[in-house]
Amino acid sequence: MNQSDFTRRLMLKTLAGAAAVAATGRIPGISAAESKPLKVWASAVAKVGAKDWSAMQAKAGTPLAVTAKSARADEAIQKMVVGDGNRLFDALTDNGGGMEDALASEKAIVPLDVSRIPNFKNILPIYHDGGAAADTIRYKGEVYAIPYISNADSMAYDYKALGFHPDSWGVMFDSQFRGRVALQNDFGPTLTTMAIYLQQSGKIDIKNAADMTPGEVKAVCQYLIDFKKKGQFRTFWDGFQNGVGLLASGEVLMSSCWEPVALVANRKTGDKADIRYGTMKEGHQTWNNVIMFSKGGRRRGADAAYYKLANVYLSQWFGALTLKTFGFAPQMRNVDAYMDAHKDTFNDATRKVLNKRLADKSARYAVKGNAWQNVFPKNIRAYQDWWARLQAA
């Protein structure tokens, strides 16, 4: 992202009076008399082991005070750069690719000493210097973030109804499925995914599906508008439960979505359907989520507590449970060995399912056309404008 573009967009948002979120939700069991808790601003998928943060706190061995975080990247950046985020929070999770660069460039987060994170030795090789995901945790060569989940987003589909396993995004545009297809109501993943399909299938000449020119954005949206006008799409889904409901009810036969949507929908259908999550030959949007240490956290001396929590995120315990609970990819090696050694939590049937899930992820990550998530494309205004036209069509 161009630095001046970032600053200009940020200040325009500020001058327009965009609101910041500051609602606080502390975890139970932390009293004022105890040592200062690490103040964390995090999404719900950043915890495993319990419905609240108690299991994460126990594993970290440090008190945690957690505030629920929204899914909007622009809101998070405004709060941390020009709002009160650094006063309120010691650590925060991101909202997708590029936030660590944006926050580091504005000195809202600080570089990390990975020697203080014992489990960093287990991090996947893709995060090593020169690896495919190395830049997603670094800014100007320094590590600023620790990854805790990742995935390659694909298509969920009802195998029982279709009778075959789709291996191409092109099936979404087959007229026999008119009105039975859903797309995510978010221009980031949807336009990137559709650009990957149109690029790799040779339908539109696109140089970089993750950072399109205005002309490329227009071409992708016009392609989708044509099909929308024909009634190809049942809806553009918003929110996790909406995504689940569309698949579980049978209202749609296929949907672009996060993997947990497919897993939960399948549990809800019972024997009525068989919701699977496919591997598309054209490619997928790959992404990760990270946890960062704020400038305010360092000023308050919260380093030790942050590093304890970061160490949990790179533990096989967290990796195995996030794979089981949400279907997200672990960020460390030897998760399979951990599951084999903990058969009380991962019985034979569970390990079989989870090892298959890992294998499927490996297949998705290996597809040539994959593109990394980019929440700050250079021509974001074109994305916003053409997305509005698509929704209005």
Q: Which tokens go with 335?
A: 């998760």
Give the separation between CA 197 and CA 9, rounded to whole angstroms. Answer: 30
Q: Which tokens go with 172?
A: 């979404």
Taking only the tens place, the pLDDT of each residue in 8-59 is 444 344 333 333 333 333 444 444 334 799 999 999 999 999 999 999 999 9
Q: Would you put residue 342 in left (φ > 0), alpha (ψ -120 to 50) or beta?
A: beta
Q: Which tokens go with 382?
A: 């074109």
Give the separation between CA 195 and CA 369, rounded to whole angstroms. Answer: 10
- The average pLDDT across 375-386 equals 94
**Beta carbons of 68 and 23 less than 8 angstroms apart:** yes
DSSP state of 121: G
Averaged confidence pLDDT in the chain? 91
Stated length of the chain? 393
Taking only the tens place, the pLDDT of each residue in 151-210 is 999 999 999 999 999 999 999 999 999 999 999 999 999 999 999 999 999 999 999 999
Nearest C-alpha neighbor of 93 from the set 69, 58, 117:
69
Q: Does the pLDDT of residue 301 top 90, yes or no? A: yes
The percent of residues in the chain predicted with pLDDT above 70, rounded, is 91
Give the separation between CA 352 and CA 203, rounded to whole angstroms. Answer: 39
pLDDT band at residue 79, thresholds of 50, 70 and 90? very high
Residue 73, pLDDT score: 81
Give the CA dihedral 221, 225, 228, 233, nearest 10 degrees: 0
What type of residue sits at position 219? A
Residue 71, pLDDT score: 64
**CA within 13 Å, CB half, 207:** 5
Give the separation between CA 301 and CA 313, rounded to whole angstroms. Answer: 21
- The average pLDDT across 70-95 equals 91
DSSP string, 349-385: HHHHHHHHHHHHHHHHHT-TT-EE--SS-TTHHHHHH
- With 0-12 / 13-18 / 19 or more C-beta atoms within 10 angstroms meaning exposed / middle / buried, residue 297 is buried
DSSP string, 268-297: HHTTS--EEE---TT--EEEEEEEEEBHHH
pLDDT band at residue 386, thresholds of 50, 70 and 90? very high
- The average pLDDT across 359-364 equals 96
- The average pLDDT across 111-126 equals 98
Rg (alpha carbons) of the chain, rounded to whole number: 21
Taking only the tens place, the pLDDT of each residue in 207-257 is 999 999 999 999 999 999 999 999 999 999 999 999 999 999 999 999 999
- Walk me through the domains of the chain, giving residue ranges and CATH numbers: 3-143+287-314 (3.40.190.10), 151-284+369-392 (3.40.190.10)
Residue with tokens 């698509």: 390
**Beta carbons of 332 and 119 less than 8 angstroms apart:** yes
Give me the phi and psi of 351, to 5 degrees please.
-65, -35
Q: List the beta strands (DSSP E) in the chain.
A: 38-42, 64-68, 91-93, 138-139, 142-143, 145-158, 181-184, 233-237, 254-257, 275-277, 285-293, 371-372
Residue 95, pLDDT score: 84
Q: Which of 59-68, 90-99, 348-357, 363-372 has the lowest mean pLDDT?
A: 90-99
Give the separation between CA 306 and CA 106, rounded to whole angstroms. Answer: 20
Strand-pair category, 91-93 with 142-143: unpaired
